[in-house]
């Protein structure tokens, strides 16, 4: 090894000396990894090759020519290794530190090394990390050799890899100038063979580690982020937090050392001391995350810590607060396992498959990112390359097919296509199953087995009681009681459950009212809000209250300024000619919108928080602290005067009035939201992405307007799945998750016709047109081919208010709306002979959508008029949906009956 180092050192020194690059003292500076031949237990895949360096031909940097130095424009730089967009093959994985502490790269990508070492950048890799150099150095060469080896590194994430000493989580993985460490092209070297299924099984994106120079320009271009998740999911780049102080200190105040007790962010790993943790993490709506890390995926290496509270948090917060935070940490959407990190039978799971796996009768225990095999027939489940560890529910619909060598067996005995391990064969022998020669058995979930090609069941593996004991001793799994259901029973049960459950997916453009409809349905059909939901909605209402107050305070500032100007205009002469004291009276600066210094300070701070966008994260926890201010603020005449002019404050959302009226009550810690409060609150949960509820529709109490009238069928159950538009991904590609729904309810806000939003490119877009676009995307998605569509035209109450003021023709799509004037325009009530303008507008919009739908699908669109805040309209829409679904079942039956009746009639004739 010393010889290698000397060789490497002299080679580098030789090249460096000639090219203006200082020689490097490798004996002291270099940290390195060495390939070693793998001698561990057999693994179920091909061990990757690491091509050793031919030490006689150590690649060296070519001297930088003086010409290019003189030119001073750009030094020759070698381009980064080309990134593959394919999922890495299992056979060729090396692991390097990355997003989750490790990253896997294909050994294919360790091509003849094209390495760039550019001055002033921090890198992640080992070989050239810590290589101190005083000049610019371009380094290229080829690695050759034939002996197989596995590169090894300690497996403790960045902290164990020697380059963490003065780097915060914010540092590693980010490129930053000013450091003396050198960087290496991102996909090189710090490899470690993937030893078990605990590892991340595919290439994940991480914050760019290297900055590359575009040879054609003088600009530094950030390395393109790469993602090998089949392009299905939007991969997040985790935020990083810089540490201000020395190593071991708190990331916020920079005080303390390694021994100081700290709480760690489960996303970026930033650590905060007792005094800073609440400020840095706010109300922790997703558990222990810095405010800037909220909604980001957690660092997978910290998953096992989820829900395990630290002593520090227990000291800082009350028991119930801690419980709430820990619950949120475990259950919130952002912290759930990402399906693309779990491979089953060589295919990564879609999010839907993951849900299916986790919610089945017998789910895999302690599921972690990794590679698994699953025998769908028997339910056997194990880590890739290992014997079975559990028997889970059979027949789950996951994509991949089991490989013969999935568990690395070598017995010539196959069970459902998998070659079993010696231990399993031993157990089978004890169970009386013949195990001589090449055998292939089919084993079902209840343990009954038969030979391939034979119809007869030969016996049941688990029948003998002793065999369960043996399995226990051998650490082999035995089926749980519920797994003992026969395949037929399982199938019948699933079909029955699925048949009775009608799934309706509810989706719409932003703020169309989907969550209000969802909540209204919960209240209507007595589906209680869970304690968690109530708590989360309570926190949401409280934080929104502060944002409403903030908006009001902003309005107050405008009004104050406005009346000051008015006042000064009125007393213009006084301003121009100051009094004997030389300045105008202080009293002149007061208006009815002015507030005292204490409230002003609070107001300034609140507005600053509002601007920073952190309000939601900061406030719920701080409710107790600020409640007295809210009370004083609300009672202050200046705020009341502002509130009286709330209609002039356009940014104040409509529900604000509902909540602001009870500001004092709501800001108290013991506030419990009523159903009405929940309904008026914006959103459902803090994650707000996908929510579902099951319900049945009770017999109708009142007179229904439906034609035909609603027929009650108590056996029918419904599942309403409310999806936030943002969860559908770009171009609605995640719509596939809802392939098996029976109906799509598409919600449109009737008031969108004159409203605009600004898209990511800064273009102003009419919301109705955006809704139309989303509708087209969803309707034409192949997952929704032949599905029933119900269009919910919502916010009719607001349309009634708006239509007289703002013509419908404001929207380009509605430019031919030209209603015949109503015979009695003063009448606000609709009747079939004399519909109001709002009703005409509704009918017009419905026809527009129907025509569009027909042109896209050649089918009929059902439409329902709704005011989501009024329960009866939502009830009616959902009953209508249930009628449509029943009709769908009835029609084929009626056609059948009709055709057999006509056949009979024609044959008797
Ligand atoms: N007056 C009135 N307000 C409504 C109606 N439906 C919804 N709202 C309000 O409109 C706002 C947006 O409604 P949400 O239900 O949150 O809309 P959403 O579709 O969930 O919006 P996203 O969260 O962006 O998906 C809320 O303030 C609701 O209270 C309605 O029929 N009448
Ligand atoms: Mg919402």
Is 226 among the domain residues?
yes
Per the CB < 8 A criterion, the answer to whether 478 and 391 are in contact is yes
CATH code, domain with 598:
1.10.400.10
Assess whether pLDDT exceeds 70 at residue 735.
yes
Assess whether pLDDT exceeds 80 at residue 315.
yes
Is 540 among the domain residues?
yes
For tokens 């399995």, what's the residue? 471
CA 512 / ligand 1 centre spacing (Å) = 6
Per the CB < 8 A criterion, the answer to whether 659 and 642 are in contact is no
Q: Is 857 exposed, middle or buried (0-12, 13-18, 19+ CB in 10 A)?
A: middle
Angle among Cα 301, 304, 309 to the nearest 5 degrees reads 120
DSSP run (H or E) holding 373 = strand 370-374
Query: What confidence category does residue 508 fall into, taking pLDDT thresholds of 50, 70 and 90?
Result: very high
Q: Which two tokens stand for residue 854?
A: 């027909």
Percentage of the chain surpassing pLDDT 70?
61
Smallest CA separation from ligand 1 atom 9, residue:
513
Assess whether pLDDT exceeds 50 at residue 189.
no
Write a three-state SS string for 833-867. CECCHHHHHHHHHHHHHHHHHHHHHCCCCEEEECC
Annotated binding residue 687: yes
- Last residue of one domain, picked from the residues 311, 335, 359: 335
Q: Which two tokens stand for residue 374?
A: 């699953």
CA 804 / ligand 2 centre spacing (Å) = 27
Angle among Cα 791, 795, 796 to the nearest 5 degrees reads 90
Residue 347 DSSP SS3: strand
Is 521 among the domain residues?
no
Lowest mean pLDDT across 102-116, 485-499, 802-816, 851-865: 102-116
Answer yes or no: do 209 and 61 share one domain.
Answer: yes
Instruction: Give the global pTM.
Output: 0.50
- Ligand 1 atom with the shortest distance to the CA of 796: 31
Is the model more confident about 793 or about 605? 793
Longest dimension (CA), the chain: 118
* Cα–Cα distance, 867 to 887 (Å, whole number): 25
Provide the pLDDT for residue 454.
77
Answer yes or no: do 777 and 647 share one domain.
Answer: no
Assess whether pLDDT exceeds 60 at residue 823.
no
CA 678 / ligand 1 centre spacing (Å) = 12
Reference 399, options 354, 461, 347, 352; nearest CA is 347
* Cα–Cα distance, 552 to 303 (Å, whole number): 41
Q: Which residues contact 599 (CB under 8 A, 6 or more apart)?
A: 629, 632, 633, 636
DSSP run (H or E) holding 418 = strand 418-419
Answer yes or no: do 404 and 425 share one domain.
Answer: yes
DSSP run (H or E) holding 29 = helix 26-29
Answer yes or no: do 601 and 656 share one domain.
Answer: yes
Assess whether pLDDT exceeds 50 at residue 181.
no
CA 813 / ligand 1 centre spacing (Å) = 23
Tell me which residue range forms the domain holding 285.
263-335
Query: What confidence category does residue 900 fall into, taking pLDDT thresholds of 50, 70 and 90?
Result: low
Query: What confidence category does residue 35 fall into, taking pLDDT thresholds of 50, 70 and 90?
Result: low
Average pLDDT of the segment spanning 255-273: 89
Kindly report the number of other CB atoms within 10 A of residue 202's CB atom.
22
Provide the pLDDT for residue 51.
58
pLDDT tens column, 374-385: 999 899 999 999
Residue 830 DSSP SS3: coil
Assess whether pLDDT exceeds 80 at residue 751.
yes
Provide the pLDDT for residue 153.
30
Reference 404, options 381, 420, 426; nearest CA is 420
Q: Which letter does DSSP use for residue 486 in this model?
A: -
Annotated binding residue 796: yes
Provide the pLDDT for residue 358.
79
Write a three-state SS string for 253-278. CCCCCCCCCCEECCCCCCEECCCCHH
Per the CB < 8 A criterion, the answer to whether 186 and 210 are in contact is yes
Average pLDDT of the segment spanning 140-153: 32
* Cα–Cα distance, 644 to 646 (Å, whole number): 6
Per the CB < 8 A criterion, the answer to whether 286 and 332 are in contact is yes
Cis check: omega of the bond before 199, within 30 degrees of 0: no
Ligand 1 binding pocket, CB closer than 6 Å: 508, 510-516, 653-655, 680, 682-683, 688, 724-725, 794-795, 797-798, 867-869
- Ligand 1 atom with the shortest distance to the CA of 688: 23
CA 681 / ligand 1 centre spacing (Å) = 9
Assess whether pLDDT exceeds 80 at residue 122.
no
Provide the pLDDT for residue 382.
93
Lowest mean pLDDT across 329-343, 490-504, 564-578, 759-773: 490-504
Annotated binding residue 438: no
Q: State whether the Cα torsion 121-152-381-406 is positive or negative.
A: positive
- How does 290-301 read in b/e, with b if 16+ C-beta sit within 10 Å? bbbbbbbbbbbb
Count Cα atoms within 13 angstroms, Cβ side, for 122.
Answer: 19
* Cα–Cα distance, 792 to 521 (Å, whole number): 14
Answer yes or no: do 724 and 846 share one domain.
Answer: yes
Among 511, 514, 689, 838, the mutation site with the greatest number of ligand 1 atoms within 8 A of its Cβ is: 511
Q: Which two tokens stand for residue 708?
A: 């035909």
Provide the pLDDT for residue 571.
67
Annotated binding residue 295: no
Q: Which two tokens stand for residue 631?
A: 């009370």
Assess whether pLDDT exceeds 70 at residue 276.
yes
* Cα–Cα distance, 737 to 726 (Å, whole number): 14
Query: With the CA atoms of 323, 327, 330 and 334 taken in that order, what torsion angle do they form, in degrees rounded to the nearest 10?
Result: -120
Per the CB < 8 A criterion, the answer to whether 279 and 271 are in contact is no
- Angle, in degrees to the nearest 10, between helices 767-779 and 837-857: 30
Smallest CA separation from ligand 1 atom 14, residue:
513
In degrees and rounded to multiples of 5, residue 341 shows phi and psi of -100, 0
Query: What confidence category does residue 362 fall into, taking pLDDT thresholds of 50, 70 and 90?
Result: confident
Range among 227-231, 283-287, 576-580, 878-882 with highest mean pLDDT value = 878-882
- What DSSP string describes 172-224? TT---TT-S-----TTSS---B--STTS--S----S---EEE-TTSSSEEEPP
Q: Which letter does DSSP use for residue 326 in this model?
A: H
Provide the pLDDT for residue 306.
86
Q: Is 84 exposed, middle or buried (0-12, 13-18, 19+ CB in 10 A)?
A: middle
Smallest CA separation from ligand 1 atom 32, residue:
795
Smallest CA separation from ligand 1 atom 11, residue:
511
Answer yes or no: do 369 and 469 share one domain.
Answer: yes
Query: What confidence category does residue 106 fall into, taking pLDDT thresholds of 50, 70 and 90?
Result: very low
Per the CB < 8 A criterion, the answer to whether 183 and 137 are in contact is no
Assess whether pLDDT exceeds 60 at residue 662.
yes
* Cα–Cα distance, 294 to 335 (Å, whole number): 10
Is 248 among the domain residues?
no
Provide the pLDDT for residue 855.
96
Q: Characterize the bridge pairing of strands 370-374 and 342-344.
A: parallel
Provide the pLDDT for residue 831.
58
Query: What confidence category does residue 413 fall into, taking pLDDT thresholds of 50, 70 and 90?
Result: very high
Average pLDDT, the chain: 71
Lowest mean pLDDT across 109-118, 390-399, 718-727: 109-118
CA 335 / ligand 1 centre spacing (Å) = 26
Annotated binding residue 696: no
Is 816 among the domain residues?
yes
Is 904 among the domain residues?
no
Query: What confidence category does residue 714 fall into, taking pLDDT thresholds of 50, 70 and 90?
Result: low
Query: What confidence category does residue 546 fall into, taking pLDDT thresholds of 50, 70 and 90?
Result: confident
Lowest mean pLDDT across 151-165, 234-248, 332-346: 151-165
Residue 572 DSSP SS3: helix
Assess whether pLDDT exceeds 90 at residue 406.
yes
Reference 184, options 85, 112, 118; nearest CA is 118
Per the CB < 8 A criterion, the answer to whether 769 and 803 are in contact is no
Average pLDDT of the segment spanning 539-558: 88
Smallest CA separation from ligand 1 atom 24, residue:
510
How many folded domains does the chain comprise?
5
Is 357 among the domain residues?
yes
Provide the pLDDT for residue 897.
60
Is the model more confident about 108 or about 395? 395
Average pLDDT of the segment spanning 102-106: 32
Smallest CA separation from ligand 1 atom 8, residue:
513
CA 755 / ligand 1 centre spacing (Å) = 14
Provide the pLDDT for residue 436.
83
Q: Measured between alpha carbons, how far is residue 453 from residues 13, 170, 437, 591, 826 in Å?
A: 71, 60, 16, 94, 82
- Break the chain down into helix, strand, coil percent, rounded to 5: 40, 15, 50
Average pLDDT of the segment spanning 186-213: 32
Q: Is 327 exposed, middle or buried (0-12, 13-18, 19+ CB in 10 A)?
A: middle
Lowest mean pLDDT across 29-38, 285-294, 826-835: 29-38
Is the model more confident about 69 or about 750? 750
CATH code, domain with 719:
3.40.50.300
* Cα–Cα distance, 806 to 809 (Å, whole number): 8
* Cα–Cα distance, 80 to 114 (Å, whole number): 7
* Cα–Cα distance, 871 to 869 (Å, whole number): 6
ipTM of the predicted structure? 0.99
Provide the pLDDT for residue 634.
87
Is 515 among the domain residues?
no
CA 698 / ligand 2 centre spacing (Å) = 26
Provide the pLDDT for residue 641.
94
Answer yes or no: do 280 and 220 share one domain.
Answer: no
* Euclidean distance between the first and the last CA atom of the chain, given in angstroms as a whole number: 100
Lowest mean pLDDT across 288-292, 341-345, 682-686: 682-686
Answer yes or no: do 730 and 654 share one domain.
Answer: no
pLDDT tens column, 825-867: 555 555 556 789 999 999 999 999 999 999 999 999 999 999 9
Answer yes or no: do 832 and 889 share one domain.
Answer: yes
pLDDT tens column, 421-455: 988 988 888 888 888 888 899 898 888 888 877 77
- Last residue of one domain, picked from the residues 335, 363, 394: 335
pLDDT tens column, 668-705: 888 899 989 999 987 665 444 678 888 988 876 554 55
Average pLDDT of the segment spanning 257-273: 90
Assess whether pLDDT exceeds 90 at residue 259.
no
pLDDT tens column, 64-86: 444 444 444 444 444 444 433 33
Answer yes or no: do 315 and 385 share one domain.
Answer: no
Answer yes or no: do 297 and 367 share one domain.
Answer: no
Lowest mean pLDDT across 27-41, 61-75, 125-139: 125-139
For tokens 């199938």, what's the residue? 491
Answer yes or no: do 300 and 216 share one domain.
Answer: no
Assess whether pLDDT exceeds 90 at residue 148.
no
Q: State whether the Cα torsion 160-123-137-105 is positive or negative.
A: positive
* Cα–Cα distance, 593 to 553 (Å, whole number): 10
Per the CB < 8 A criterion, the answer to whether 755 and 811 are in contact is no
Provide the pLDDT for residue 13.
45
DSSP run (H or E) holding 415 = strand 413-415
Range among 84-98, 232-246, 663-677 with highest mean pLDDT value = 663-677
Is the model more confident about 574 or about 352? 352
- How does 708-731 read in b/e, with b if 16+ C-beta sit within 10 Å? eebeeeeebebebbbbbbebbeee
pLDDT tens column, 487-496: 444 444 444 4
Q: Which two tokens stand for residue 909?
A: 């004739």
Among 516, 518, 519, 803, the mutation site with the greatest number of ligand 1 atoms within 8 A of its Cβ is: 516
Provide the pLDDT for residue 415.
93
Q: State whether the Cα torsion 556-559-565-566 is positive or negative.
A: negative
Query: What confidence category does residue 4 fall into, taking pLDDT thresholds of 50, 70 and 90?
Result: very low
Q: What is the CA radius of gyration of the chain?
A: 34
Per the CB < 8 A criterion, the answer to whether 423 and 408 are in contact is no
């Amino acid at each position: 090894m010393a010889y290698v180092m000397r060789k490497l050192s002299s080679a580098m020194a030789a090249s460096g000396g000639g090219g203006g690059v200082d020689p490097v003292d490798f004996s002291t500076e270099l940290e390195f990894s060495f390939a070693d031949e793998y001698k561990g237990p057999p693994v179920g895949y091909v061990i990757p090759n690491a091509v050793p360096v031919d030490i006689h031909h150590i690649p060296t940097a070519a001297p930088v020519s003086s010409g290019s130095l003189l030119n001073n424009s750009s030094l020759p730089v070698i381009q980064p290794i080309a990134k593959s967009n394919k999922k890495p093959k299992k056979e060729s994985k090396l692991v390097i530190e990355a997003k989750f502490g490790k990253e896997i790269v294909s050994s294919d990508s360790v091509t003849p090394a094209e390495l760039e070492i550019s001055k002033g950048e921090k890198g992640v890799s080992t070989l050239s990390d810590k290589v101190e150099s005083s000049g610019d150095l371009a380094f290229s060469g080829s690695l050759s050799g034939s002996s197989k080896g596995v590169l090894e590194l300690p497996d403790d994430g960045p902290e164990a890899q020697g380059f963490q000493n003065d780097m915060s989580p914010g540092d590693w993985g980010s490129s930053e100038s000013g450091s003396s460490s050198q960087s290496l092209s991102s996909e090189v070297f710090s490899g470690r063979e993937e030893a078990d299924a605990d590892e991340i099984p595919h290439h994940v994106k991480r914050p760019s580690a290297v900055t590359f120079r575009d040879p054609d320009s003088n600009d530094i271009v950030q390395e393109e982020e790469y993602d090998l998740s089949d392009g299905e999911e939007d991969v997040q780049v985790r935020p990083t937090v810089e540490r201000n102080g020395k190593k071991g200190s708190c990331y916020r105040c920079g005080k303390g050392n390694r021994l100081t007790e700290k709480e760690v962010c489960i996303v970026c790993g930033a650590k905060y001391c007792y005094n800073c943790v609440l400020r840095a993490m706010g109300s922790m709506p997703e558990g222990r995350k810095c405010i800037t890390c909220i909604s980001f995926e957690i660092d997978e290496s910290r998953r096992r810590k989820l829900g395990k509270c630290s002593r520090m948090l227990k000291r800082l917060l009350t028991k119930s607060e801690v419980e709430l935070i820990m619950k949120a940490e475990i259950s919130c959407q952002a912290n759930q396992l990402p399906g693309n990190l779990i491979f089953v039978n060589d295919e990564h799971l879609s999010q839907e498959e993951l849900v299916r796996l986790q919610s089945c009768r017998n789910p895999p225990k302690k599921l972690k990112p990794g590679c698994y095999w699953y025998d769908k027939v028997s339910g056997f489940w194990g880590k890739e390359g290992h014997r079975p560890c559990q028997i889970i529910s059979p027949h789950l619909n996951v994509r991949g097919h089991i490989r013969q060598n999935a568990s690395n067996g070598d017995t010539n005995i196959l069970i459902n296509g998998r070659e079993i391990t010696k231990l399993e064969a031993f157990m089978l022998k004890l169970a009386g199953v013949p195990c001589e020669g090449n055998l292939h058995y089919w084993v079902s979930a209840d343990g009954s087995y038969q030979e391939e090609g034979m119809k007869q069941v030969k016996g049941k593996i688990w029948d003998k009681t002793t065999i369960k004991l043996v399995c226990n001793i051998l650490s082999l799994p035995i089926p749980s009681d519920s797994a003992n259901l026969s395949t037929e029973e399982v199938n019948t049960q699933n079909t029955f459950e699925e048949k009775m459950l009608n799934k309706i997916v509810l989706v719409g453009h932003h703020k169309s009212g989907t969550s209000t409809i969802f909540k209204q349905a919960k209240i209507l059909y007595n589906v209680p809000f869970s304690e968690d939901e109530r708590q989360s909605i309570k926190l949401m209402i409280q934080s929104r209250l502060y944002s409403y107050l903030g908006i009001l305070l902003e309005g107050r500032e405008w009004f104050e300024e406005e009346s000051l100007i008015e006042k000064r205009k009125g007393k213009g002469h006084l301003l121009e000619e100051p009094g004997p004291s030389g300045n105008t009276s202080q009293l002149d600066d007061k208006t009815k919108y002015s507030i005292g210094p204490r409230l002003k300070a609070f107001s300034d701070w609140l507005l600053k928080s509002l601007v920073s966008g952190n309000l939601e994260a900061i406030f719920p926890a701080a409710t107790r602290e600020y409640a007295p201010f809210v009370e004083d603020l609300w009672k202050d005449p200046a705020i009341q005067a502002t509130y009286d002019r709330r209609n002039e404050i356009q940014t104040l959302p409509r529900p604000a009035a509902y909540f602001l009226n009870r500001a004092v009550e709501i800001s108290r810690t013991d506030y419990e939201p009523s159903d009405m409060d929940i309904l008026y609150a914006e959103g459902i949960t803090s994650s707000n992405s996908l929510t579902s509820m099951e319900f049945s529709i009770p017999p109708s109490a009142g007179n229904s307007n439906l034609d035909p009238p609603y027929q009650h069928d108590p056996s029918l159950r419904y599942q309403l799945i409310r999806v936030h538009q943002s969860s559908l991904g770009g171009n609605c590609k995640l719509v596939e998750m809802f392939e098996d729904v029976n109906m799509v309810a598409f919600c449109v806000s009737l008031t969108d016709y004159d409203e605009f939003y600004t898209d990511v490119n800064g273009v102003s877009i009419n919301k109705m047109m955006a809704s139309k676009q989303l509708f087209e995307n969803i309707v034409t998605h192949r997952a929704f081919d032949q599905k029933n569509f119900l269009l919910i035209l919502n916010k009719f109450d607001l349309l009634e208010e708006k239509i007289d003021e703002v013509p419908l023709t404001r929207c380009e799509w509605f430019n031919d709306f030209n209603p015949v004037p109503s015979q009695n325009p003063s009448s606000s009530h609709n009747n079939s002979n004399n519909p109001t303008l709002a009703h005409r507008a509704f009918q017009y919009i419905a026809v527009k959508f129907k025509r569009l739908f027909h042109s896209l699908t050649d089918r009929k669109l059902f439409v329902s008029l709704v005011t989501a805040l009024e329960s009866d309209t939502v009830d009616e829409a959902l009953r209508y949906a249930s009628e449509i679904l029943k009709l769908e079942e009835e029609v084929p039956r009626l056609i059948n009956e009709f055709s057999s009746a006509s056949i009979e009639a024609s044959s008797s004739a």
